[in-house]
Structure 1
Amino acid sequence: MKNRQFTLRTVAVSCFLVLAAQAPTAAIAADTATKKIALSNNFAGNSWRQTMLKSWDKITKDAVAKRIVAQAPSFTTAENQATEQAAQIQNMILQGYDAIVVNAASPTALNGAVKKACDAGIVVVSFDGIVTEPCAYRIAVDFKKLGEMQIDYFASRGLKGNLLEVRGLAGVFVDDEIHQGITEGVKKHPEFKIVGSAHGNWTQTVAQKEVSAILSTLPAVTAVATQGGDGYGVAQAFKAAGRPTPVIFLGNRHDELTWWKEQRDASKYQTMSASIAPGASTFAFWVAQQILAGAKVPKDMKLPLSVVTQQTLDESLKNTEAGGVVNVEYSQKEVMNFLAKLK
């Protein structure tokens, strides 16, 4: 397998799980050259979000240059506040965008603004941090599965004992779903007990600070369930405290994979890593473009998780740029071919 990126893209295109109330029609390539699509993003303070924005910028600039769409700017709020993002969406409505792609601060708090956009004839496609407003489209991975699979992995290793849970941004759909999955996993595997929890905000510096603040209060920790972007910070917190390094589930970030490789080479350290690919933003962009072109697509779509194992670590790290995340970016043709199969 020579190219990890190609493999991930192939899996992503061929293995979608799609939930739809009605059978959609084939995708079409109607002219959208005058259409304007905007990205509303609530947070950019970690490597996943920065890679997501880079992927959006790369794909949409090419789409504008080829006159597939007229504009596709991205906007990120200064704070992760639903009220600020709702105001941002209100401005997009006034500015006459034809579609808004949203990575939402809250699954419910933006519903009023989203409904106003839909009522104004604007297509709204949410991804990663999705919204529950029925008029919007939703693209995500099975985040509950991501939480549960961590506990399953720990159990498959024959581990047992105390767990530390490091969560993401409070109030965001992704954080809630992964947390629920972790909780379900612990119920299924009673040999584990969650003895501490901290919000790492999907950022290694915050995770290190917050975990360091509670470590002295915790008993011995066997494993750490995380949400991505936090694993390296967790490892540094344990190291600084002079405590043994537990099995830390990682989230596909370059710094995490680099640390993992160093530990593996030095002491045969074993773990696993998984996340949604930042390039989900490019899939959402093309879905919005295709809806504007007249295609009918399902309201709810699920992307596959990008998974890194002990066996694929070297290849994944080789194909991930420093400061980045294991990624997949989608082309218009890939998304059109996917939609064309939904009949």
Structure 2
Amino acid sequence: MPHRALPWRRGAVGALIAALALLTAACGGGLAANSNASGEAYTELRTGKAGTAADAKVIEEIPASVRNAYAGFWHATRIGPNPYAGWKVPKAPWKFCYSSAYQGNTWRQEGLKVAQGIVADFDAKGLADGKLLASDANNNASLQATQITTMAQKGCDVILVMQPPTVGVCKAFQSAKDAGALVVVMQTGTDCTNVIQSDFGAYYAGQKSAQWLVQKIGDTNGTVVMCDGIPGVAAAEARQAGAADVFAKAGLKVDHITGQWTPSTVKSEMLRYLSTNQGALAGVWDGGVCAAAVTEALQQAGRELPWVTGFEGGCPWLASWKQTGKESFGFAASAGDGLVQAFRIALRMLAGQQPKYNTLLYPLAEIDSTNFDQYYKDGMTLNSACFAQPAGGGSVPDSYYDALFTGGNQPETFDAHLSDLPVK
């Protein structure tokens, strides 16, 4: 699940001014009235950095029912007012378009399949203007910007953007917005404030899996190894920060390996670590696609298997859990679920509802020993390329977003057929 982000920060004076501005605005109008030191009505993106008083004030203003997902939000995204407040809602049938930064892995391919299925159902109901128009930028920011601009020129009413680069496409987003298109960025943080963002709370997810590990470790002596993702990438840094804060509070010794979100790299890095660290391991925290590869490395090295968490719900992790019988904990963080949440947001806006903020975060569906049998399927192996889909059709029900929207009518509903995705 490649995400890319660059840290952005200002000086201490600017942060203090921003905090005072937020506090003042909160007394007379809430988060939507806030401005930072440069006069922008959005918080700052500070990947891998500590939160400020301004960030804390923003979290206080988030509705209590959804607040947990916004923990540590500044690592991955910016929050402020709805940039589509004056948007003229188009009438159905709508033209749906899909801009992907990269389609070269099965996670992305599953997401596209879900998007195509939803739009095909809408088309059959007369709610969509033909099939989904999709593009693949092959990790080229300039190409993706051009593709998005072209989509707007072709009359796309909704442009769903999967994991664009953090910077480099803001002008294209603005061109699409100026043309009347609703742009919804999915599954990544962005420095752009002219789009609607849909993502899971990465920091919160990192906290949750680390808390499970701490509980399982108990008074066991030993080191926790954090298997980190790609350095500097917002999604990786956010979940790592959440876990690190939990481990620090628990007083645990922590070492790190960098897995680059690539199983082969994870295994080689874990074997290298084990060759130079003979001490007891209390646990391994997974920052993404680490669990199965880490377990293989431990077995190859003849080491006792400690508690190992999962993260994104990959089928190899579930197959490894089944084979070893060693309990684990992770999430159903599929691209399919990412599309479900993005469509729910877009459909609410197409029904005239207004989001309270530009960024809409949700918690992931959790996978543990109580529901393992719901997620593990016969046929899953260590070489499978599939991902567990959240039970119930999504990580959160559509009603989760009630606290994040105002006005408008009831949105159209849909079945994403997540359970239909093949196990392979």
Q: Same fold (TM over 0.5)?
A: yes
Deviation readout 1:147-198 (Å, 9 max, x if unpaired): 12222112111145322222334544321211221222222122232x2221
Q: Does 1:274 align with 2:331?
A: yes
1:320 Cα deviation after fit: 9.7
Structure 1, unaligned runs of 5 or more: 1-14
Query: SS in structure 2 opposite 1:166?
Result: strand
- Mapped contact 2:198–2:359 kept (Cα < 8 A): yes
Name the residue aligned to 1:173. Answer: 234
Asked whether the equivalents of residues 164 and 185 of structure 2 are also in contact (C-alpha less than 8 Å), the reply is no
Answer whether contact 1:47 1:229 (CA < 8 A) is retained.
no
Q: Name the CA distance, whole Å, in 1 between partners of 2:164 and 2:90.
A: 32
Aligned residue number for residue 361 of structure 2: 302
**Counterpart pick for 1:39 among 82, 98, 103:** 98
Partner residue of 1:239 out of 286, 299, 305: 299
One-letter amino acid matched to 1:316: Y
Classify 1:50/1:133 alpha carbon distance in 2 versus 1 (closer, same or farther; 3 Å). Answer: same
CA contact (8 A) 1:108 1:132 kept: yes
Separation in 2 of the partners of 1:130 and 1:262?
Answer: 35
- Aligned to 1:216, the other structure's residue is in SS state helix
Q: CA 1:305–1:98 in structure 2 vs 1: closer, same or farther (change >3 Å)? A: same
Q: Tell me what 1:324 maps to.
A: 386
* CA 91–313 in structure 1, closer or farther in 2 if over 3 Å, else same: same
- Report the counterpart of residue 96 of structure 1 in structure 2: 155
RMSD between superposed Cα atoms in Å = 3.4
Normalising by structure 1, report the TM-score: 0.77
Mapped partners of 1:337, 1:190: distance in 2 = 35
Please say which structure displays the higher CA radius of gyration. Answer: 2
CA contact (8 A) 1:104 1:126 kept: yes
Q: Residue 157 of structure 2 aligns to which amino acid in structure 1? A: D
3-state DSSP of counterpart to 1:222: strand
Structure 2 length as normaliser, TM-score?
0.64
| Rounded Cα–Cα distance in structure 2 between residues aligned with 1:163 and 1:150 | 13
> 1:336/1:75 Cα in 2 relative to 1: closer, same or farther (>3 Å)?
farther
Decide whether aligned partners of structure 1 residues 189 and 50 sit closer, same or farther in structure 2, where only a CA change above 3 A counts. Answer: farther
SS of equivalent residue, structure 2 residue 376 = helix
Alignment of 1:256-267 (within 5 A): 256-264=317-325
Give the corresponding residue for 1:283. 341
Structure 1's 99 and 217: CA in aligned 2 closer, same or farther, altered over 3 A? farther
Aligned to 1:78: 138
**Is 1:49 equivalent to 2:111 in the alignment?**
no
Give, in angstroms, the shift of residue 317 of structure 1: 1.2
Q: Tell whether the 8 Å contact from 1:129 to 1:172 is kept in structure 2 after alignment.
A: no
Paired with 2:168 and 2:225, the residues of 1 have a C-alpha distance of 29
Identical residues among aligned pairs (%): 21
Higher relative contact order, chain-length normalized (CA < 8 Å, sep 6+) = 1
Structure 2 runs not aligned, ≥5 long:
1-64, 71-79, 407-424
Q: In 2, are the aligned partners of 1:169 and 1:200 still within 8 Å (CA)?
A: yes
Amino acid at match of 1:287: I
- Deviation at 1:308? 1.0
Give distance in 1, aligned partners of 2:186 and 2:268: 29
Corresponding pairs, count: 315
Paired amino acid for 1:327:
Q
Name the amino acid aligned to 2:296. Q
Q: Distance in 2 between matches of 1:263 and 1:189?
A: 27
Distance 2:323 2:371 in 1: 15
Indicate yes or no: 2:316 matched with 1:255: yes
The AA in structure 2 aligned to 1:191 is L
What is the match of residue 68 of structure 1?
127
Aligned mates of 1:83, 1:215 — CA distance in 2: 42
Deviation, 1:136, is 1.0
Q: Quick check: 1:98–1:121 contact (8 Å CA) kept in 2?
A: yes
Do 2:213 and 2:285's aligned partners in 1 also have CA atoms closer than 8 Å?
no
* One-letter identity of the residue aligned with 1:75: S
1 CA distance for matches of 2:141 and 2:230?
A: 12
